[in-house]
Structure 1
Amino acid sequence: MKRLVLLLCFPLTAMAAPANTAKLAHSLDTIIAARFKPASPGVAALIVRDGHPILRKAYGLANVELNVPLQPEHVFRIGSTTKLFTATAVMLLVDEGKLDLGAPVTRYLDAAPRHWEKVTIEHLLTHTSGIPNLSMDSGYWRTTARLDHTLEELISPVHARPFDFEPGTKFAYNNTGFNLLGMVIEKVSGTDYFAFVEQRIVKPLGLKHTRESNDKQLIPGLVTGYREGPTPAWPLANSNLHAAGGLVSTVDDLAAFMLSLQSGKIVSPASVKRMNTSHVLPNGAATGYGLGTWVRKVNGKHLVGHGGYIFNFYSQLEMDVDSGIVAVTLHNGDKFGGDNEELSRQLISAVQGSIVGI
């Protein structure tokens, strides 16, 4: 029954999965189980090929204090994987002619400082804006990030600062830039960022558990995060994450979102292609990052997606677009199972290697 429900969530197919995937599922299960102890924080994992789930399973505990086992349907904070939703929202507005990737951010934000005329929407999406990243300030995560802030308060501290580098000339990962994109989305659409994501992405795709990670509301199924020990995750006000990292989701929702995005069901195929293409700097160097998505190769195949970390959750959403493989891993602990990107690549590699035999 769970498999049938999962297939109905996926927009690409409702056909029966190949019958001889049990051996592959066992191999994937062995890879993950070797990393996570049953009595520690763990991971929910979903691996899909051609729209069919191969493995959907959880390992470890959702709550250590209460000894509650993790379930695949549990909800996790996804941190910077939110950026893929933000980039998708931007490209929706680009497709509708409401946003121009080459336009300066000052065209859309009246309060932006004059020197930001050099910064385009594309610069923000590709982390090449040169605008200082507030979350890199000394002490930010120990002090500022624990207090509630409005979106304007997340941006205004960098208004008077000079660029870290000339816009467009370097790559530097930047949460402030994506919060600026959230502000642009609100200005252009006339809708709150989270409401826009819900109305234009979440509801149309039938995603059941993707929403704002609001500290002031109960979120059914949300697991507890842990750092080393395990000890409780550091306190953090989710309002500081916003369009850069403020969503919660599940493995099912994230796989369905990725499949819909890559099939051109949310934004145009041309926009998807542009999102999936590594940005190239003026010196000819590829950054390995497109428009809101990391771009990499595994076994010669083209992988796209995004990962996230926020106290103390890790998320990884990747798709081998050449082979139709999606891997989603959501962790509620601080690397209790090792590096999440490495795990994702290991799982995708295992499925890639099985394709000929299946």
Structure 2
Amino acid sequence: MVRFIVLSVVIGMCTFSVLAKTLKFDAVLQCHNSRSEPGMVVRLEQSDKLIYSGAIGIADLKTMRPLQVDDVFQIGSITKTFTAAAIFKLLESNKLSLKDPVGKFIPNINPHYKHLTLEHILSHTSGLPDYLDDPTVHQVWGEYASIEDVINRITRKSVQSNPTEKYSYSNLGYILLGKVIEVASGLPYSAYLEEVFFKPLQMKNTFVMTKGLSVGNVQGYTTRDPAAKQYIKAEKLISRSWKVDRSWIYSSGAIASTLADMSRWNKALSSGEVITLQNFTLMATKARLNSGKYIKYGLGLNIQPLATIDSLSHEGMVPGFFSWNVHFPEHNLFATAFSNADTKHPGPMLLDMIALQLKLSPEPLIDSQKVKQLAQKLVGRYQSSSSKVLTISLEGNTLYAQYGDDIKRKIIPREDSSFSHECTENYFQLRENAGKSEIVPIYLYQGEQEALIKF
């Protein structure tokens, strides 16, 4: 009987802990979104356990259907990770080599491109231009075109630099890789990915959009038009040509997927199920320029520390949609978020959740005495080297921060002589340096920033 009671208490405590964390994640999601506007869906997993899955906002402003966690979203340039993995899959079948020049597979391409290797293109160090800012392409990309016609249209510019001279992100390069995959495999790009990735991994709601603007129940929105005071469908944007048939995005960004399918993909890719672990390691290794400098991109993956922790990631944006997919190998943590508004990056929201899960930010203070002690130390004026002034004030029992003449913002006292604004895990830390008090901003994405000195 006693054992049963103890077990019941333990189970109850665990249930309460899970519920408390879920409520925290819900609060973060609500901080970054409105229920009545286009929104976001998010999923966190650690050590093969689902930590959180949530959705907020509207999928279609015409029907006011709410977003759901199993909705299909366009994932944009996260597609590039799939394209890179497909190149490695063909390498493992002896269909190509990373040192092969792209001209071997596309012989009638611009002569200035022919010598560029697949490895150069994968790492965005080929010197290829991009086509997203080409007005001549904007005139025609609203309608379907074959991959051959797309390549013919977007490859007319000269290369911008020599291979490995510098990092220059190129969607054009990944379009070419899609054609390489077709030639080497004998299948259309979409069919090859279906055969070697989507079907074997049971990614039943993942596919390549070969034409059109939208798919499924989730519409993509934007607020990029200065004349629009509210969200409009991305393809109706007036200030720029935002009606882009997905045949023009192709292997650089035309995959649509769900949170659950991305979970399957993340685990399979990193475990050696998709390609060998040796080749995944190559994907996840920073590319090197001829100067000897390493860039923050490998072969289809961004490689950089986030909140001081090494990560592998890719973001994506196509008209109407924003996405981010990140893996922290050290913590066996995967996180994915999609937004159906291309002006609403899910990164800040996702980083706040990751910080909560990994305890990357000091905990909020709940002891009133500790809050009072911190307030006494904090109150005052601080200045950066650029003469930016931060004023910390105490009104009643509430602390406020104000930059210059900006609006006062309530701040949350935290452990370790720290504080934050509301709705963020970015924080500021009070430190002593050479006999002077200073406040150091610590951002999850950019790390420590310049200190502000008390005067």
TM-score (norm 1): 0.88
Among residues 201, 219, 244, which one is paired with 1:236 in the alignment? 244
- Report the equivalent of 2:207: 211
Task: Output one character per residue of 1:250-282: Cα deviation in whole Å (capped at 9) or x when no partner.
Answer: 111112101110111100001111111111211
1:29-40 equivalences under 5 Å are 29-40=26-37
The offset of 1:314, in angstroms, is 0.5
Among residues 120, 124, 129, which one is paired with 1:123 in the alignment? 120
Q: Distance in 1 between matches of 2:131 and 2:343?
A: 25
Task: Tell me, yes or no, if structure 1 residue 148 matches structure 2 residue 144.
Answer: yes
Q: Residue 61 of structure 1 contacts residue 69 of structure 1 at CA under 8 Å; is this kept in 2?
A: yes
Task: Tell me, yes or no, if structure 1 residue 222 matches structure 2 residue 217.
Answer: yes
The offset of 1:217, in angstroms, is 10
Q: Give the match's secondary structure for 1:110.
A: coil
The offset of 1:138, in angstroms, is 3.3
Among residues 94, 105, 118, which one is paired with 2:102 in the alignment? 105
Q: Distance in 2 between matches of 1:236 and 1:327?
A: 28
Q: Distance in 2 between matches of 1:245 and 1:199?
A: 19
- Report the equivalent of 2:129: 132
Task: Output one character per residue of 1:198-237: Cα deviation in whole Å (capped at 9) or x when no partner.
Answer: 0000000000110122445994x43011112111112321
Among residues 192, 211, 230, which one is paired with 2:188 in the alignment? 192
Q: Residue 320 of structure 1 contacts residue 348 of structure 1 at CA under 8 Å; is this kept in 2?
A: no
Q: 1:153 to 1:140 in 2, by over 3 A?
A: same
Q: Residue 84 of structure 1 contacts residue 305 of structure 1 at CA under 8 Å; is this kept in 2?
A: no
Q: Residue 213 of structure 2 contacts residue 244 of structure 2 at CA under 8 Å; is this kept in 1?
A: no
Q: 1:158 to 1:227 in 2, by over 3 A?
A: closer
The offset of 1:190, in angstroms, is 0.3
Q: Distance in 2 between matches of 1:78 and 1:218?
A: 12
Q: Distance in 2 between matches of 1:244 and 1:259?
A: 22
Among residues 265, 271, 290, which one is paired with 1:257 in the alignment? 265
In our comparison, the structure showing a higher alpha carbon Rg is: 2
Q: Residue 155 of structure 1 contacts residue 179 of structure 1 at CA under 8 Å; is this kept in 2?
A: yes
Q: Distance in 1 between matches of 2:214 and 2:244?
A: 16
Q: Distance in 2 between matches of 1:95 and 1:249?
A: 26
Q: Give the match's secondary structure for 1:135.
A: coil
Q: Residue 73 of structure 2 contacts residue 257 of structure 2 at CA under 8 Å; is this kept in 1?
A: yes
For residue 179 of structure 2, what is the amino acid of its counterpart?
A: M
Give the superposed CA RMSD. Answer: 2.1
Task: Output one character per residue of 1:92-139: Cα deviation in whole Å (capped at 9) or x when no partner.
Answer: 111222221112112222223433343100111011111222222136
Q: Residue 325 of structure 1 contacts residue 351 of structure 1 at CA under 8 Å; is this kept in 2?
A: no
Task: Tell me, yes or no, if structure 1 residue 345 matches structure 2 residue 351.
Answer: yes
TM-score (norm 2): 0.70
Q: Residue 131 of structure 1 contacts residue 158 of structure 1 at CA under 8 Å; is this kept in 2?
A: no
Q: Structure 2: which 5+ runs fail to align?
A: 1-13, 224-229, 236-242, 364-455
Q: Distance in 2 between matches of 1:259 and 1:165?
A: 36
Among residues 171, 175, 180, which one is paired with 1:175 in the alignment? 171
Q: Distance in 2 between matches of 1:273 and 1:218?
A: 34
1:195-344 equivalences under 5 Å are 195-215=191-211, 219=215, 221-228=216-223, 229-234=230-235, 235-336=243-344, 339-344=345-350
Q: More displaced, 69-78 or 281-290?
A: 281-290
Q: Give the match's secondary structure for 1:347.
A: helix
Q: Residue 46 of structure 1 contacts residue 251 of structure 1 at CA under 8 Å; is this kept in 2?
A: yes
- Report the equivalent of 1:66: 63
Q: Higher helix share goes to which structure?
A: 1
For residue 107 of structure 1, what is the amino acid of its counterpart?
A: K
For residue 105 of structure 1, what is the amino acid of its counterpart?
A: V
Q: Residue 32 of structure 2 contacts residue 349 of structure 2 at CA under 8 Å; is this kept in 1?
A: no
Task: Tell me, yes or no, if structure 1 residue 49 matches structure 2 residue 49.
Answer: no
Q: Give the match's secondary structure for 1:99.
A: coil
- Report the equivalent of 2:413: none
Q: Distance in 2 between matches of 1:168 and 1:217?
A: 35
Greater relative contact order, per chain length (Cα 8 Å cut-off, separation 6+): 1
